[in-house]
Amino acid sequence: MKVVKCFLCIGLCLTGFAGNLTAEQESGLIADEPGKAMRLWYDKPAPDNNAGWVNRSIPMGNGYMGVNVFGGTKSDRIQVTENSLYDWGKDRGLKRRGLNNFAEVYIDFGHDGATNYLQELNLNEGVSHVKYEQDGVKYTRDYFTSYPDKVMAIRLKASEAGKLSFTLRPTIPFLGEGKSGTVSAEGDTITLSGIMSYYKIKFEGQFKVIPQGGTIKANNAKSQGTITVSDADSALILFAVGTNYKFDPKVFLTAAPAKKLAGFPDPHEKVSGYLADAAAQTYEQLLENHQTDYSEIYDRVSLDLGAEEPKITTDKMVDAYPDGASSRYLEELAFQFGRYMLICSSRAGTLPPHLQGIWNVYEKPPWSSQYLHDTNVQMAFAPAFSANMPELFESYVGFFEAFMPRQQVYATEYIKQYNPSQLDPKGDNGWSGPFWANPYDVPGKTSIAGFGTGAWIAQMFWDYYDFTRDQKLLAETVYPVMSGQANFVSRFVKDVDGVLLADPSSSPEQKLRNTVGTTFDQQMFYENHHNTLTAAKVLGLSNSQLEKYETQLPLLDPIQIGKSGHIKEFRQEEFYGEIGDPVHRHASMLLGLYPGQLISDKTPAWLDAAKVSLIKRTRDSNIGWARAERIAMLARVHDSEEAYAYYKDLLEGNYLHNLFNDHRGGPLFQADGNYGATAGVAEMLLQSHDHVVSPLVAMPAGWSEGSYRGILARGNFEVSAHWSDSHATQLEVLSKAGGTLDLRYPNVAQAKIKTSDGQTVEFVATGTDEIAIKTTKGQTYVVTDIPVHTPVTAPSDLKIENDDAKNGIKLVWTTSADAASYNVYRAVGNAPGYELITSGLKDAAFTYSAADLKDIEQMTLKVTAVAANGRESKEGTTVIRLKP
């Protein structure tokens, strides 16, 4: 290692350095640049049917409600979802009772001859607009859903005085045996209220109309409350919703459905309070409150891949992808749209996003709009951390804390059932992970997924700390969750041939179930034990339980390499695909690769095995979330082109005209594909899972020019980058928590590094591609003038030409045009890393002999290329050698 002092470069860059000073460098920091304008827009309203809802309506939300705006001119339809309005029954199959449609709200205008129509959703503002002309009058509508004020606001205006007339007509859909309610109007307010019978959910929505000019009249004809505004200049409609649901362990510990909410207050008072507080403010004040809250989160991150805003509508842009001139813009837009959706659907104090986020139009939604913990919930929150919105995880924290006491009861039951010798008779057995859940129930064990779901939940909590480095959060919120899960796992696993395995164990949704020690369970258990021990050291804790976890950790045996060179999904499999579906939508044996931290550049043999598994999984699945997850997994193995291919598959094959993810055709909306796409692109732009901040690590050739700002790395480092001709011209890292910044980028140790105010930066270099900086909280570190790096092409097609005890193993491979020599490595059995066998080979052949070859059942052999300047190829070519 060497210590280097780097000074502000004055004047022209040296010959051999990439590019001139960028616009960002001339004007300041990339992080200070304004965000790129992002919007969806259309030249006609969404069709007024369920197909229009899923394919074209504009989604909005504030955590308290989700809304879908249709934008009609004769009648505007606004569909409202409230995530606790739940039904249940014995029906099974894809579509079954669960989350219900809260309200269908209509604003009747009677405008049949509208021209110059525009509907848009401005992601930068968090506001939707409708504009058109009718009979020479220009009409506008502005919509937003405010988290701080807990209301939706709609402002309606006409360009001429006295020309605005409409009728507000809220309705309750799906009234019948399981749902009752009324809609009544009085003065300027309509109240919609009722009961969902199964859980005895009391629900209420209130709508207030505030016109400027004209007249207002309430009507209750045929028991349907409406309000009519006539001849006004403008009007403001406010509405708030709520139920008697609350986060309380009682909800999950009470068995009788009708008693789960007993004693909780009627929602009338809180909904009335929301509306009264909002109505006491002007529209401008409400808009400012909303945009201050929304933009503080949304504006942290921007992505610019060089696209211009298209001149065609969003529906046409989606249809033209990937061949249209607007394709790059869609790639930018989809990234930010996933962030927008999470802001809409996940706020502190509200229920977290489910399979459909916070949007549902159906009486029987797909899979009941539940929470599935074998990937869907985790995918929803993946962009919360990497895309710099960590506080959005608070919605799940509140939900988890409510259902966790029920999981503690289950944990004791399971230890008693599966490993009674480890039972704590006082009940201190930790908590077990659920598979599915809804706001009222977390059922017991299912064979569909193993107990690794609990450790995967705990990993989300660890990420919450790891990306924020908030030690108060770690001590009070995160560590209790992780240690409780480690406690359960430490009692649940059994000694099988000297290792500790889950029994029973299932790999999510695969055909073979209730087996022993699936990679899913073992990796998740290992990750949580490791993270719990790391957290304990941060907090300065020590006790006998931690000593037990330390002893157990290496025995959890998280990775088994199969005879195909792949990471096994099942311990008993030998060759890839001989057990289970080889092209399954889940890739659960790779969760240690992503979203976990087990497999990285620090475990290169495991990383190569993960690549083999990904290749063999194929691109056959058309499932939206699976494509999104593979983007991130492929980015983690540095396969930028294949990651990009999956992103394009997703945008072309799954994104609807309103950018909702179509799960698998139908269309069938599932929000995890949207959230997962954002997280996947973030992994292409920046990685830090090995606690080394690595910008632009999986950039495809198609994104050769661009910039981003504000993506978050572990350690609470906020990273911005500008690149040209696929080479970084400027990197910026804002240290938000202090600590050591480990930064990796080719030739970064030869770059110019300064603080944002031009001060000298001292760093420690490890080779040419990695440096360490002791950072100061609040300081930004700027890296410029990075020497151009030319990667070394790897050799290919490594083969074993001959293998016998007498003559050794003869290896041959296809040469690399960049190679001055070759290195040969081996990894024996399940080893995470490689041992160097030989280096400096000039020929594309090598015969390997070693005394222990006769005893080795399986090993991976790898060849890399070394250029004349000594730089080794990042990748290599591998072959599996099995004992003859």
Tens of pLDDT, residue by residue over 176-191, are 999 999 999 999 999 9
Nearest Cα residue to 37 out of 297, 342, 299: 299
CB atoms within 10 A of CB 870: 10
Rounded Cα distance between 86 and 848, Å, is 65
Distance CA 545, CA 487 (A): 8
What is the model's pLDDT at position 806? 82
Model pLDDT, residue 291 = 98
Q: What percent of the chain has pLDDT over 90?
A: 95
Return the pLDDT at 26.
52
Q: Let me know: does 814 contact 876? Beta carbons within 8 Å.
A: no
Contacts of 472 (CB under 8 A, 6+ apart): none
- pLDDT at site 666: 82
Tell me which residue of 802, 372, 445, 267 sits closest to 625, measured CA to CA.
372
Segments of the chain scoring below 50 in pLDDT: 1-3, 5-25, 27
Q: Shortest CA distance to 35 belongs to which of 290, 269, 403, 294?
A: 294
pLDDT of residue 573: 97
With beta carbons less than 8 A apart as the criterion, state whether 698 and 643 touch.
Answer: yes
Q: What region, left, alpha or beta, does residue 870 occupy, with left being phi > 0 and alpha being psi -120 to 50 degrees?
A: left
pLDDT digits (tens, 9 = 90+) for 869-881: 999 999 999 999 9
Other Cβ atoms closer than 10 A to 321: 20
Cis bond upstream, residue 148 (ω within 30): no
Q: pTM (2 decimals)?
A: 0.96
- Cα distances (angstroms) measured from residue 802 to each of 404, 429, 836, 837: 58, 55, 21, 18
Q: Where does residue 625 rank: exposed (0-12), middle (13-18), buried (19+ CB within 10 A)?
A: buried
Question: Hey, which bits of 338-470 come out as E strands?
Answer: 371-372, 436-437
> pLDDT, tens digit, for every residue of 131-185?
999 999 999 999 999 999 999 999 999 999 999 999 999 999 999 999 999 999 9
108, 112, 116, 121: CA torsion to nearest 10: 30
- Residue 762, classified by CB atoms within 10 Å of its CB into exposed (0-12), middle (13-18) or buried (19+), is exposed
**504 cis-preceded (ω within 30 degrees of 0):** yes
Rounded CA separation 191/267 (Å):
12
Angle in degrees, CA 141, 73, 205, rounded to 5: 60
